[in-house]
Structure 1
Amino acid sequence: MSETLHVEVEPDVTIHVDRWAARLPGAPTVLALHGFSGNGAIFAGLAKAFDGAVEVLAIDCRGRGRSSKPADPARYGMRRHADDAAAVLRALDRTDVVVVGTSMGAWISTQLAARHPDLVRAAILLDGGYFALLPAGTDPVAWANQVLLGAIDRMDMVIPDLDLAVAALRVAPGIGTIWDADIERSLRADFEEVDGGVRGRLRPVAAIADARSYHDPVEDPYLRRDIARITCPVHLVTAPEGLPITAETSSPPIMPAETVAEFQRALPQLTVEMAPDTNHFTVCLGPVANALVVAATREVLK
């Protein structure tokens, strides 16, 4: 079972933290950072996979889950999420942590390593952390919405009943193939009651601002520029397929080979492995992802 913590990072912003304790005092700490529409509870399975060998901390990024949701779009973005994670670590007196970032969490991880190197021992990125430049004139929010198969358009969708929402997700391509009690618990926590039913806790202001943050500015995104500031070891795990569309088809990979090669040129210490027969969901969550993270963590802790 996890312990629930709440850390004030700004006078009006509190970050929700799930903490799974290690068996022994002084054990290393793993900070887990979730994807675009997730929450920290999604890492319960990862904590079980570590079996108490490390302490696992997982935050709900602002605008999501049980953390605060400011109304100002200027108060979001990968830098802001990274600074929130750093504030949590400092409040809990944690340094020398291994940061694990899944999907969007991978970009937050690179920002955390670049902006707060005193806190990060190593970073493990699951299918994220670097994008190729967009063509001039591209709307980064429309581009992200396309990559996410229209998820931003559905942010405010109201579903009549929570059980109906969970049942639909349970049979969805991708998440449905790795379904277990921990994932269901996390997804249930990601909905809130509203008039007419339930909707996801991720607020559109956060979704749109964070989508824009991936390519801010389009001609020279700070997420790419700041890669040069990273000094710690970084390990990237990629999937050969993107987001599942049907049981048989997926979108193109989030991290295609040419993008990974560019990432390696920008970050010489980057090590890379591809997880065979995975897609963006199964390389980020579930038993395969958990085993990959545990193995990579053991390697960087040697």
Structure 2
Amino acid sequence: MIPYEELRVPVAGGELAALRWPAPDPRAPVVLALHGITANALSWGAVARLLAGRATLVAPDLRGRAASAALPGPYGIAAHADDAAALADALSPGRVVLAGHSMGAFVAALAAVRHPGRFGPLVLVDGGFGFPAPTHLSADELMTAVIGPAMDRLSMTFADRAAYRSFWQAHPAFAGDAWSPEVDAYIQRDLTGEEPAMRSGCRLEAVRTDGVGLFREEVLSAVHELPVPATLVWARRGLMDEEQGLYDESRLAAAGRPGTAVRAVCVEGVNHYTVLTGDKGAREVVRALLRAAP
């Protein structure tokens, strides 16, 4: 783990917590990086290391997660987009490169649309292109279909940090050499409470609101209305390391990617998590960030 600074930035309702990995050169570009629906700022640890000081990386704990868990609602993709703009205002007078993983990619796209002129090029990591919700599913059924295992984890308790580590090490996405000290720090940042009943710090209400919000028309259309160029770095494999990932060439075509200005880069041999937390995926993310930086 490379060292980082802890920040607190005023936003609607309180302060947003963020981590900053500063570049030695104050003239270096600034990258604002947004995590996924039940993740936290340290999911960007491998990217920070591989950037190697060529850019300043700032990653918030989004509203309702980790050190920002106390921030009240309203939640939703638009609220996160506005928080990202407030954070960008505090970071730099100029445009910042905006990146997002999974849900964070949808937030990034909407932030660019809602706040044109605030952000430079975007890097979307295994997210940003979505599909309308099936009309026959209730909100609860929809959330179960999309992030059922993650939702289950939010209601679980763990005897101690070692038990939480064991839970994650058994996850198919982190099998074999996918586990690292950076992944360990990332998952441990999520844990709160006292032994023997520790639990995820993600607020269930925030996760439910954000998950349903991913299917709002304003969110689905954002990637098609971007005022800046973007790169999508997508994983061949899925959330549980299954062969079918969130995207493939036919799904991206169905989502209208060829009709946008979004460049797509597939990373083979990584899944929805390791496209960000593993070195192979993180290197592609870093290449995209440096290509996007002014």
State the TM-score, normalized to the length of structure 2.
0.91
| Partner Cα separation in structure 2 for residue 283 and residue 36 of structure 1 | 16
Matching of residue 189 in structure 1 with residue 189 in structure 2: yes
Could you tell me the percent identity over the aligned residues?
Answer: 28
After the TM superposition, which residues 58-207 of structure 1 pair with which residues of structure 2 at under 5 Å, given as runs? 58-70=59-71, 72=73, 75-176=74-175, 177-194=177-194, 196-207=196-207
Amino acid in the other structure paired with 1:187? I
How far is the alpha carbon of 1:128 from its aligned partner?
0.7
* Range moving further from structure 2, 48-57 or 143-152: 143-152
2:272 aligned counterpart, secondary structure: coil
- 1:28 equivalent in structure 2: 29
Is this contact kept in 2: 1:227–1:267, CA < 8 A?
Answer: no
- What is aligned with 1:269? 261
Tell me the secondary structure at the aligned position of residue 133 of structure 1.
coil
Of stretches 201-210 and 181-190 in structure 1, the one that deviates more from structure 2 is 181-190
CA shift, 1:255, in A, is 2.0
Does the 8 Å CA contact 1:86/1:112 hold for their aligned counterparts? yes
| 1:283 counterpart SS class | helix
Indicate the SS of the match to 2:117: coil
SS at match of 1:25: coil
For 2:11, what is the secondary structure of its paired residue?
A: strand
Partner residue in 1 for 2:7: 5
Alpha carbons of structure 1 residues 142 and 59: separation in structure 2 relative to 1, 3 Å: same
Alignment correspondent of 1:16 = 17
| Amino acid paired to 2:52 | D
Q: Which moved more, 1:199-208 or 1:172-181?
A: 172-181
Flag the 1:243–1:265 CA change in 2: closer, same or farther, 3 A. closer
Name 1:285's counterpart in structure 2: 277
Q: Which moved more, 1:128-137 or 1:48-57?
A: 128-137
Identify the range of structure 1 (99-108 vs 51-60) with the bigger mean alpha-carbon deviation.
Answer: 99-108
Q: Which runs of 5+ in 1 are unaligned?
A: none
Equivalent position amino acid for 1:204 in 2:
L
Assess if the C-alpha contact under 8 Å between 1:148 and 1:243 holds in 2. Answer: no
Counterparts of 2:117 and 2:140, CA distance in 1: 32
Alignment partner of 1:254 out of 242, 246, 249: 246
Q: Which amino acid aligns with 1:8?
A: P
Shift of 1:42: 2.1
Q: Contact (CA 8 Å) 1:130, 1:259: kept in 2 or not?
A: no
Quick one: distance in 1 between partners of 2:268 and 2:224? 29
2:231 corresponding residue in structure 1: 235
CA contact (8 A) 2:97 2:289 kept: yes
- Equivalenced residues, count: 291
TM-score (norm 1): 0.89
CA distance in 1, matches of 2:49, 2:33: 13
Is 1:190–1:200's contact at 8 Å kept on the other side of the alignment? yes
Contact 1:174 1:279 in 2 (8 A): yes
Give the superposition deviation at 1:264. Answer: 3.9
What is the rounded CA distance, in whole Å, between the counterparts of 1:236 and 1:283 in structure 2?
12
Q: Distance in 1 between matches of 2:210 and 2:181?
A: 29
Residues 110 and 240 of structure 1: is their aligned pair in 2 closer, same or farther, counting only changes over 3 Å?
same
- Give the Å deviation of 1:135: 2.5
For residues 285 and 243 of structure 1, the distance between their equivalents in structure 2, rounded to whole angstroms, comes to 13
Deviations 1:59-103 (A, max 9, x none): 00000010143554xx11111111101101112234321112111
Paired with 1:89 and 1:133, the residues of 2 have a C-alpha distance of 30
Kindly tell me: are residues 102 and 226 of structure 1, through their superposed partners in 2, closer, same or farther at Cα, counting changes over 3 Å?
Answer: closer
